[in-house]
Copies of this chain bind each other. A is one copy, B any other.
Amino acid sequence: MSSEKTLNDWERKFQDNGYRLTTPRREIIRVVAESLKPLSPMEIFDIARQSIPTIGLVTVYRTIEKMESLKLIHRVHHINQCQTIFRSTQDHQHLLICTKCGKTEYFEGLDVEHAFEALSQKYEIEITGHSFQLFGICKTCANKPDKEQPSQ
């Protein structure tokens, strides 16, 4: 899908949901829809500002909120930015996280590395690492609908 089509789609989604298409908002949408890489709010701001110098960073944050609620974007894991930490194991990097209580464990039984060679060639990129996390509701939380934290 061309980015021009994406852009129209996004603008239509905004209107269909009762959001107005203002000049700054359209520019922010355009920047994100056409970007080849994940962007931080400040990066979006800097790019958008080149066309609309009076734009405010706050508007960027608020437009991101709306794009997210419309599911037009999602958040990308950049290792250096995430500040939630967990003990690592040498072997496995595959995590299973309960979104309700936070309980987390490493899991085995899903081999993804076997496909890396073929993907490297197909997409012309040398794969050097990966992040793989599954989210779900653990047994304990499924049985207790109320908020519950693990012992620590």
Interface of A with B (CB < 8 Å)?
6, 31-41, 44, 47, 64, 67-68, 71-88, 93, 95-99, 101-105, 107, 109-110, 112, 115-116, 118-120, 122-139, 142, 150-152
Q: State A92–B132 Cα separation when bound (angstroms).
A: 14
**A36-B104, A130-B135 known; A84+B81 contact, CB < 8 A:** yes
**Cross-chain contact of A82 among B39, B72, B77 (Cβ < 8 A):** B77
- Complex Cα gap A105–B133 (Å): 19
Number of copies: 2
A142 to chain B, nearest CB (A): 6
Quick one: which of A126, A131, A137 has the most chain B CB within 10 A? A131
